[in-house]
Amino acid sequence: MQAWLCLAVVLRPIVGDTIVDAFPFIMGGTLVTVGSVALALGMGLVLGVPMAVLQVYGNALARRLVGLYVWFFRGVPILVLLFLSQGLFLSMGWIIEPFLLSCLVMGCISTAYQSQIFRGAIESLPQGQLKAARALGMRDLTAITCIILPQALRLSIPGWANEFSILLKDSAVCYLLGTMEIMARVNAVAQRTHEHLAFFALAGVIYFVLTLIVLKLLRRLENKVQIPGYSAGTVGSMAKNTQHGVKNA
């Protein structure tokens, strides 16, 4: 609190009294936004990895079901999914908190996108690794979890960082359900003070700073765990070659 009071004294002559007074209220919405995005990304990670494995190594039925899920949640806008899910739960008599509903919908969408990120990473690895593991007597599940996935997850960090930045921006529409995140609080203050330009510019700065911080951290993580001889460009090139091979086949 004392640190904020000192910062407020410095910023007040620059940005004005209104923004300084409303800043703590808006930052409370920042915590809500970060929490919802983190939960959605976690859900996408937990569900996206097994879905990617099923799409690469599963039978025809599993691949088709995963493909339908991905096709649906990547093809329908998030705003439509938010209102559809809200109407569906209300029709069943279930009242879900807007925050939880937003996390659920964003998590389902993120699962679809992350599954394709992980699928591309898995397919970019030399498939001879799995054959070698089988030759050594390892079961497929053991080989996938102990050999394939550790490499694929490390190769997925650039795509995962991109997914974070997209999901963070998509979370801005969740205020329409009543989630008190950044945009909901900015809109409330702007309506009350009639200083829309200043407060929406502040919202843009907050989103930009959040994206910059997380992408920098993920970039450091990528450099730390990078597999020697592999890079984002290498993975992309191998993925393209895989796609061309499938088309030619």
Give CA–CA dist 196/201, Å, rounded.
8
Report which of 64, 62, 40 is spatially closest to residue 53, judged by C-alpha positions.
62
**Total-model pTM:** 0.82
Architecture of domain 36-244: Orthogonal Bundle (1.10)
How is the chain split into domains, by residue range? 36-244
What per-residue confidence (pLDDT) applies to 10?
46
Q: Say which amino acid occupies 116.
A: Q
- Six-digit token pair at 39? 């939960």
pLDDT of residue 136: 86
User: For residue 43, how many other CB atoms are within 10 A of its CB?
Assistant: 19
In the DSSP assignment, the letter for residue 148 is I
100 phi and psi angles, rounded to 5 deg: -65, -40
Q: Give the pLDDT score at 17.
A: 63
pLDDT of residue 245: 39
Provide the residue-wise pLDDT of the chain in tens; the chain has 249 residues: 444 445 444 445 544 567 777 888 888 999 999 999 999 999 999 999 999 999 999 999 999 999 999 999 999 999 999 999 999 999 998 888 999 999 999 999 999 999 999 999 999 888 888 888 888 888 888 888 888 999 999 999 999 999 999 999 999 999 988 888 999 999 999 888 888 888 888 899 899 999 999 999 999 998 888 877 665 555 444 444 434 433 343
